[in-house]
Amino acid sequence: DTGVSQDPRHKITKRGQNVTFRCDPISEHNRLYWYRQTLGQGPEFLTYFQNEAQLEKSRLLSDRFSAERPKGSFSTLEIQRTEQGDSAMYLCASSAGTVEAFFGQGTRLTVV
């Protein structure tokens, strides 16, 4: 399967802990996006990469969030000192430029 892959699918963590999620995009896609989605809401943009360059980051994203895409391949999203409000589905998507984006299955984070 050459779709977008995210790991882990589910993560339960205690408040204050750090968590890291991984996304492997479709291999020929140069753009990679991270979104967060809570119940009843549409996906909320967090950040996006074109190849290895992080070109935009949401103003809503606190300094506890950081993302990387070394070598323009997979990407990681780290959340430091997690809070209960960070509980959400974290979605990764990739695209070949400004065309269709395809989503991974998401990582559901629960902060207890």
CA 2/CA 16 separation, integer angstroms: 35
Q: Which part of the chain contacts another protein (CB under 8 A), choosing from 11-19, 32-40, 65-73, 76-84?
A: 32-40
By CB under 8 A, the residues from 85 to 104 that bind another protein are 89, 91, 93, 98-104
- Residue 55 near another protein by CB under 8 A: yes
Bridge partners, 23 (sequence order): 6, 75
* 41 lines the binding site for another protein (CB under 8 A): yes
Contact 32, 71 (CB under 8 A): no
Per-residue burial over 66-84, b = 16 or more CB atoms within 10 Å of its CB, e = otherwise: ebebeeeebbebebeebee
- Piece of the chain touching another protein by CB under 8 A; list 18-26, 43-51, 63-71, 74-82: 43-51
Sign of the dihedral through C-alpha 105, 24, 12, 80: negative
Can residue 34 be called a binding residue for another protein (CB under 8 A)? no
Closest separation in Å from C-beta 77 to another protein: 15
| Sequence letter at residue 51 | N
Binding residues for another protein, rule: CB under 8 A, are 33, 35, 40-45, 48, 50, 55-56, 89, 91, 93, 98-106
